[in-house]
Amino acid sequence: MNVKKDFPIFENNEGLIYLDSSATSQSPKQVINAIADFYNKYKSNIHRGVYDLSEMSTELYEKSKEKCASFLNCNPQEIIYTKNATEALNLAAYSLTSDLKEGDEVLVTEMEHHSNFVPWQQLCKSRNLKFSVIKVNEDFTLENIENKITEKTKILALTHVSNATGSVNDIKEICKLANENNIITVIDGCQSAPHKKIDLKDLNCDFFAFSVHKMLGPMGLGILFGKEKLLEKLSPFLYGGDMIRDVRIDDTDFNDIPWKFEAGTPNVAAAVGFSAAIDYLNKIGMENIEKYENELKEYALEKLSEVEGIKIYKPKSQAGIISFNLYNNDKLIHPHDVSAVLNDKKIAIRSGHHCAQVLMDKLKVPATCRISFYIYNTKEDIDKVAEALKEARKVFN
Ligand SMILES: Cc1ncc(COP(=O)(O)O)c(C=O)c1O
């Protein structure tokens, strides 16, 4: 895939090898230009002004939602714009748990990012709900979910793809099981939506959250999809601004969905940038992106396995994310040290707990090194990282 030339970050940082797209992706000039264009030509607030500029801005914002809905195969009124996936997941957690009764249960998994773990954990505590955690097996699959479901289980919140290991959950099957048991599903799609075709009608989940900055778009925009009939019933999470229809001293009426959940001035520029990112991704094709990243992953697994002392945390089913550690005579070389050595060679990888401390505890390591791919990565990047890891191991010999 010959797209590196579209990404100014590589022109401005000669020799950069960027392997941390799970944390955030780089943006092509098409996205950057669309945002600049908005600020240069159209900046004005939406849904308010009765003047051309505001109408244009409103149209760009609403068009972005239509594009997003068509990208995911859902309706535009089912798409809520938030500031990131964390806020989207908090919105789902706050609003959904406020309708539960004492003793009702929320199920999450050991492989969740903190953003899809801590909100449920904390809200279950403060609202006297039961918080249960599905375990992860040695091959990074989930233990039998059916055995964890009880009559009290009302919500199942889990990730599509683990950001810490790249492990892929069979969301379609899991949602089918949840639907049969009247359990609401909240899917963290942060590591899947940027990399594979998402068809929400086919997955049949109730809620689906992700962040635009991980899919070539700008920072400051998150998405929460919710099924229309559920959003209609759900209480708002934040109050003020566009989410209001009518305010009296004694009470307030709220706007229709999705605006009922969008308080205050939204990030219109990011919505415009997201439209450009979707166009860019669609031009390449999500199926081609998944296939390309899978090739990179297979190549990287082969190359990395040649590095002496490496332990790769290999899931049964894996997306374009590889987590590993380097050992020297059974002694862990701290991932931060590994990544610092690589940084000297202009190679950006991730080291740390990846906001998945429950999983790190399970692996009995404080942290791992992680490389994650996107369309601008190449096999040469992988060759260079494998060589650099061999050298890193020598440094800590
Ligand atoms: C699986 C997963 N969930 C949630 C998040 C949180 O995303 P954000 O920081 O954009 O809110 C991330 C970010 O790394 C992630 O990888």
CATH number at residue 316: 3.90.1150.10
- Do 245 and 165 lie in one domain? The reply is yes
- Do 184 and 237 lie in one domain? The reply is yes
Say yes or no: CB of residue 84 within 6 Å of ligand 1. Answer: yes
Say yes or no: CB of residue 206 within 6 Å of ligand 1. Answer: no
Task: Give the span between the Cα atoms of 290 and 278, in whole angstroms.
Answer: 15
- What is the predicted pLDDT for the residue at 211? 98
Task: Give the span between the Cα atoms of 187 and 122, in whole angstroms.
Answer: 18
Domain count, the chain: 2
Which of 283, 318, 346 is the last residue before a domain boundary?
283
Q: Tens digit of pLDDT for each residue in 235-272?
A: 999 999 989 999 999 999 999 999 999 999 999 999 99
- Do 302 and 268 lie in one domain? The reply is no
- Do 88 and 164 lie in one domain? The reply is yes
| Residue nearest (by alpha carbon) to ligand 1 atom 14 | 23
More confident residue, 187 or 397: 187
Which of 249, 267, 283 is the last residue before a domain boundary?
283
Ligand 1 centre to CA of 115 (Å) is 7
Q: How many CA atoms lie within 13 A of 139 on its CB side?
A: 6
- What is the predicted pLDDT for the residue at 48? 78
Mean model confidence pLDDT for the chain: 97
Indicate the pLDDT class of residue 183, thresholds 50, 70 and 90: very high
- Do 98 and 149 lie in one domain? The reply is yes
For 293, the domain range is 4-27+285-395
Calculate mean pLDDT across residues 175-185.
98
- Expressed in angstroms, the distance from the first to the final Cα of the chain is 37
- Do 17 and 152 lie in one domain? The reply is no
| Residue nearest (by alpha carbon) to ligand 1 atom 12 | 190
Q: Tens digit of pLDDT for each residue in 54-67?
A: 999 999 999 999 99
- Do 151 and 51 lie in one domain? The reply is yes
Ligand 1 centre to CA of 48 (Å) is 32
The pLDDT of residue 397 is above 80 = no
Ligand 1 atom nearest the C-alpha of 87 is 11
- What is the predicted pLDDT for the residue at 50? 87
Task: Give the span between the Cα atoms of 5 and 121, in whole angstroms.
Answer: 44
Task: Give the span between the Cα atoms of 129 and 131, in whole angstroms.
Answer: 6
Calculate mean pLDDT across residues 125-131.
97
Backbone angles phi, psi at 2, to 5 degrees: -105, 75
Cis peptide bond upstream of 258, omega within 30:
yes
Task: Give the span between the Cα atoms of 311 and 363, in whole angstroms.
Answer: 12
Calculate mean pLDDT across residues 367-376.
98
- Do 198 and 317 lie in one domain? The reply is no
Calculate mean pLDDT across residues 89-116.
97
- Do 231 and 376 lie in one domain? The reply is no
- What is the predicted pLDDT for the residue at 1? 86
Ligand 1 centre to CA of 116 (Å) is 9
- Do 173 and 295 lie in one domain? The reply is no
Q: Residue 341's CB: how many other CB atoms inside 10 A?
A: 19
Structure tokens at 139: 């091959």
- Do 293 and 368 lie in one domain? The reply is yes
- What is the predicted pLDDT for the residue at 189? 98
- What is the predicted pLDDT for the residue at 329? 86
Cβ–Cβ < 8 Å for 376, 8: no
- The residues assigned a catalytic role are 355
Calculate mean pLDDT across residues 191-215.
98
Task: Give the span between the Cα atoms of 228 and 258, in whole angstroms.
Answer: 9
Instruction: Collect all residues with Cβ–Cβ distance below 8 Å to 283 and sequence separation of at least 6.
Output: none
Name the percent of the chain lying above pLDDT 70: 100
- The answer for 209, left when phi > 0, alpha when psi is -120 to 50, beta otherwise, is beta
Determine the length of the chain. 397
- Do 111 and 226 lie in one domain? The reply is yes
Indicate the pLDDT class of residue 396, thresholds 50, 70 and 90: confident
Name the percent of the chain lying above pLDDT 90: 97
Which of 257, 283, 309 is the last residue before a domain boundary?
283
- What is the predicted pLDDT for the residue at 282? 98
